[in-house]
């Protein structure tokens, strides 16, 4: 319904996917803070999940395989985030700093 209103094609989704993918990957490699790297990796996995939903919509139409697969990915992502945040909290309690390059100062 919304595709007919705005005439959004698969190419628009692919262009948006690559723009957001570039932002997420650059956030992973250019940030020095562990929290920012975690947020960028979460954005990366969410982009992949949305990509599954879009391609399932264009390939099958009514079939919900892509959406079910994306929900499973999001559930695993939530478990990963809980584990990563607990590890980050443990590192912060131990070193009182989350900067990756400051290992010499913390020891």
pLDDT value at residue 61: 66
Q: What is the CATH number of the domain that holds 52?
A: 1.10.287.3510
In the chain, what's the furthest Cα-to-Cα distance? 60
Q: Tell me the per-residue pLDDT of 90-102, one tens digit each, with 9 for 90 and over.
A: 877 777 766 666 6
User: Which tops the pLDDT comparison, 61 or 43?
Assistant: 43
Express each pLDDT in 5-49 by its tens digit.
677 788 888 898 999 899 889 988 988 777 788 788 888 888 888
- Number of domains observed in the structure of the chain: 1
Range of the domain at 101: 2-106
The pLDDT of 75-79, averaged and rounded, is 82
How far out from the chain centre does Cα 22 lie? 12
102: its two tokens: 């400051």
State the pLDDT at residue 102.
60
How far does CA 33 lie from the centroid of its chain?
16
CA angle (31 as vertex; 54, 85 as ends), nearest 5: 75
**Phi, then psi, of 49 in degrees rounded to 5:** -65, -45
């Amino acid at each position: 319904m919304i595709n007919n209103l705005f005439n959004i094609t698969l190419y628009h989704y692919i262009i948006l996917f690559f723009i957001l993918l570039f932002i997420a990957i650059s956030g992973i490699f250019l940030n020095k803070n562990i929290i920012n790297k975690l947020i960028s990796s979460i954005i990366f996995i969410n982009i992949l999940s949305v990509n599954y939903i879009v391609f399932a919509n264009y390939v099958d139409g009514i079939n919900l395989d892509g959406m079910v697969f994306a929900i499973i990915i999001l559930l695993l992502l939530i478990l990963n985030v809980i584990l990563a945040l607990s590890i980050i909290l443990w590192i912060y309690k131990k070193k009182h700093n989350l900067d990756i390059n400051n290992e010499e100062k913390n020891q």
